[in-house]
Amino acid sequence: MKKYRKRNTFITILITLIVICFAYQNEIKEFLTEPLISSKETYKLENIPKYNGNAYIEINNNKPNFTEEDYTKGTFETYSDLDNLNRAGVAFAKISKETMPTEERGSIGMIKPTGWHTIKYDIVSGKYLYNRCHLIGYQLTGENANEKNLITCTRQTNTGPMLDFENEVANYIKKTNNHVLYRVTPIYEGNNLLASGIQIEASSVEDKCNDICFNVYIYNVQDGITIDYKNGDSHLS
pLDDT, tens digit, for every residue of 92-113? 999 999 999 988 888 999 999 9
pLDDT, tens digit, for every residue of 126-167? 999 999 999 999 999 999 999 999 999 999 999 999 999 999
Domain ranges in the chain are 1-33, 45-236
pLDDT, tens digit, for every residue of 182-201? 999 999 999 999 999 999 99
> Residue 68: what pLDDT?
95
> Residue 47: what pLDDT?
83
Q: Which fold, 45-236?
A: Extracellular Endonuclease; Chain A (3.40.570)
Q: How does 50-86 read in b/e, with b if 16+ C-beta sit within 10 Å?
A: eeeeebbeebeeeebbbeeebeeeeeebebbeeeeee
Q: What 3-state class would DSSP assign to 41?
A: helix
> Residue 31: what pLDDT?
35
> Residue 122: what pLDDT?
97
